[in-house]
Every structure is written in structure tokens, then in C-alpha cells.
Amino acid sequence: MTIATDWNMLLVKGLPFLTLLGMGLLLLVIEVLWWGKDKTIMLILSLLAVAASFYFAWDQWIQNIPWSQQLLVFDRLSYIFDLIFLFCLLITLLISRDHIKREHIERGEYYALLLLATVGMMMMAHAGDLMVLFLGIEVMTIGAYILAGIKKRHSKSNEAALKYFILGGIAAGLMVFGIAFFYGATGSTQLSILNQTFAEVDSSQSVLIFLAVALILVGLCFKIAAVPFHFWSPDVYEGAPTTVTAFMATAIKAAGFVALFRVLFIVISLTHIPWVPLLSTLSIATMTVGNLVALRQTNIKRMLAYSSIAHAGYALVGLAAAAKDNQLSEMALGAIVFYMMAYAVITLGAFAIVVAMGHRGDEAEEISDFAGLGQRHPLLAAAMTVFMIALTGIPPTIGFIGKFYLFASAIEVGLYTLVVIGVLNSVVSAYYYLGVVMTMYFKEGAVYRWPPLAYLLTTSIFLTLLGTLYWGVFPKDLFLMAQESVRQVIF
């Protein structure tokens, strides 16, 4: 690791998010000049920016030259999450084209906000300082606030944006207090300095640091919608446009976990905090509440929202395993990275089907709207069946492999009770996931002429379906990539 102020190196290392930042700002200018005209150029430019950013991030991951500029760090962990964010952004853009036209929200700022929110996520992944982490969170969430309420004449969209804004503001305030306490106790907010300082914490500082850790973790648990900080999630997911919901359920959740990684890497050395019981309890509560409440949902977006909460609980199993044994943390953290990839692929595919179900200008948000889909559109129903099976964790899908690696890492360190509860929760989740499949094939629905699917939407469904099945059968390379990404983490 090098610590320097080499701005040329910073420019090269930061190309993935600088590319998106520049294009996001350019799109805002184009919107002013191109107002009222066809927005296809905006989509094309956005896709080009994503492709370029993906290339730069992949190239840096391959080179594997860890480097730090104090405020920002560049290691394989940050770049693998850059790739996850960019994949989520790509699929969101592909499923957005016709959906936002149908919903009358096709505006230049829609594309710009998606790009700029992704820049915030990348800042979180590359944060070497708590203030940079907080800045990244705010860039991401401000974009998400606006996107959630972009359907200005839709009451549920307005409600979603308001709830997210108010509760997100509270979470942000708690994080600022936590960062201030860290600064008061140690005199710094840089992760590298905090990591060294925590090895010599005395009793006079322990209370202040404990408060700082608690407040920051509360703010981050809000971002991943962990229980009991999940109340915003169902209403926001239901009220936001479906494409925005897909982006929030995948990219923002992954961003929350990479932020948790960065913070836990430095505070895990505080042995007076009972990390394993704390993370295990949080995991059990999150997966159990998410699954049990999902059983009662009739709205597909609310069901997927509670499903998202449950999957955050599964991922927390890996964090508990990493906290239990530092010697085996590489396997556990690699399993979490792999799970974030798996969850993103599957969930984006499921939301792409929900977008495809919107026909004749109507949103198909109720599970009952899927009745008879097996007869009306067999291919679409088959794809949705694969995604539901994958979310349940049934082979041969990437969802099964993701849970297998998580639970295996927990078994390796002796967290048998946590694994048993996780498996039981997966069994519970089968009821509502497979309930969607039952509705598609065994209930009769309205008969109408199915409009042809848009090319970009079809492409997104194909890509996510391919990823769900291919990596479910051949997961080795992807898991090795995830493990490599946590091997040389820097602060």
C-alpha cells in the first residue's frame, strides 16, 4: 500500500466513478438544451458511460495494485463492488426505457440521477475516511429520494419519497453524531488511523467509542433495511417506480454492505463489544421478520421488499461468521460478496418480469395480476419461476449456491444455531415465492392479446436468467473472484 498525493494516479484509479460523474453532469446540461425532445440520446449516453466505467473497474481489478490516497482507497474489494453497482445500473437502464415512457416520467434527470446515485455508491466502496463514507451515502440517498418521488402526480410515489427522506435524514443525523464521537475520542476520522488507534483504546475512551460504533451501525442498518430499521422499505418500494425499486433493492443494499465492511474492518478489534451475539441477533431478527411479514403480502413489490429484508438477514450470517473467527473471515466475507452478486442478478430479473407485466399503461403490482401467465406467456412465466426458485435457494440456481457458501462459512466457525434458523427461514420463504408460481400456472386470469416485449427489456430478462442458471451450475470462478476481492483490503 502507498499513501501519497499522486493526482495522476488518483485520476487513473478513479476513472470508474469519474466517468459516471462526468456523464451525469453532462446529461443535466443536455436535458436543458434537449428539453421536450426524444430522450433516446440520454439512454445511449448512459449506456456508453456504464460500459466505459465497467471496463475501467474491471481493468483495475485485474491489475490488482492496492493504493490509498488517505481519503480514498483503491483495492479489489472496492472495484468488485463497483462492478456490482454497474451491473445493477445497466439492468435498471435496460428495463427503464419503455417503463418510464409508459409512466410519463421520461426525463433527462432520471438518467442523470441514476448515474449520480451510483457515483455515491462507488464513493462508499472507495471510502478511506468516515467523512467520505458519509458523503457517498448522502450523494446516493439524495438521488434515491428524488427518484422515489419522480412520479410527482402519484400519491404513493410522493409518500415514498417523503418517508424515505424523513427517516433517511434521521439515520444520517445519527451517523454524523457517531462520526463526531469517533473524532472526539481519537482525533481523526481516517480509517487507517482509527484502525491503529483502536488497538490502544483505554477505558476513558471506550464509552465514547461504543456510542460512536452504535450510532454508525444504526445508520448503516437503515441502508440495508435490517430489523428494526426496516420500516421505510416496504412503503418506499411500493410507491417508487418499479425500475427505481429494482435499483434500490439491489444496488443500494450492496452499497450498505460495503459500508458495513469498511466500518467493521476497523471496529472488530474492539473486543469489549460482543460482536458475534450482536450480529447473530440482528441476522435472526432480520431474516425472520422479513420472511414472516412477506407471507401476508398481496402486492408483488411489497413482497419483494420484505424478501429483500430477509436476504439482508442471510447476508448478516456471513458477517457474524467473520466476527467469530478472524482466521476464517476471508471465506465468510467472500461469501457475502458472492451473495450480493447473486441477489442482484436474481432480484433484477424478478423486477424485470414485473415491469414486463405492466401492459396497456397499467402497473401489474398485485400477485393476482400474474394469474394465468403460464398460459398467456409461457416464456415469461418460466423465467419468473426460475427467479422465484432462485430467491428461495433451490438448486441449480445461483441463489442456492449463495446461501450454501454463507451457511458453510457459519458452520465452519461453529454457528450451528444461526445456520439452522437460516435454513428454516428459507423453508418459510418457499411458501410465498412458490405462491407466485402457483398463481401463474394454477389460477385463471384475464385473457388479452399480449403486446410484444421491448427489445431492451427482453435483453435484461435474458441476461439475468442466464446469470441465475449459469452461475448456479458453474459458480467456482465467480466465488474465487469474490474471495480474491477480500484478500487484500486496505484502509
Strand pairing class (73-74; 67-68): antiparallel
Contact 178, 219 (CB under 8 A): yes
| Mean pLDDT for all residues in the chain | 87
Q: How confident is the model at residue 486 (pLDDT cuts 50, 70, 90)?
A: confident
Q: How confident is the model at residue 204 (pLDDT cuts 50, 70, 90)?
A: low
Contact 363, 325 (CB under 8 A): no
What are 399-448's pLDDT values in tens digits? 999 999 999 999 998 899 999 999 999 999 999 999 999 999 988 766 55
* Long-range pairs, 229-234, Cβ under 8 A, ≥24: 229/171, 230/286, 230/289, 230/290, 230/309, 231/167, 232/163, 232/164, 232/167, 232/168, 233/305, 233/306, 233/308, 233/309, 234/302, 234/305, 234/306
User: What residues does each domain of the chain span?
Assistant: 274-491
| Omega before residue 234 within 30° of 0, cis | no
What are 38-88's pLDDT values in tens digits? 778 889 999 999 999 999 999 999 988 888 877 888 989 999 999 999 999
Using DSSP's 3-state secondary structure scheme, residue 2 falls into: coil
Cα angle, residue 260 at apex, residues 405 and 210 outer, rounded to 5°: 125
What are 439-457's pLDDT values in tens digits? 999 887 665 556 666 788 8
Cα angle, residue 69 at apex, residues 67 and 75 outer, rounded to 5°: 30
Q: What is the pLDDT of residue 99?
A: 83
- Which pTM was predicted? 0.93
Q: What is the pLDDT of residue 121?
A: 94
* Nearest partner of 195 among 271, 270, 274, 272, judged by Cα: 270
- For residue 207 the three cell numbers come to 464509552
Contact 240, 99 (CB under 8 A): no
Contact 475, 339 (CB under 8 A): no
Q: What is the pLDDT of residue 332?
A: 86
Q: What is the pLDDT of residue 2?
A: 43
DSSP string across 322-380: HHH-GGGHHHHHHHHHHHHHHHHHHHHHHHHHHHHH-BTTB---BGGGGTTHHHH-HHH
- Reported in sequence order, the residue ranges of 47-174 that DSSP labels E, i.e. its strands, are 67-68, 73-74
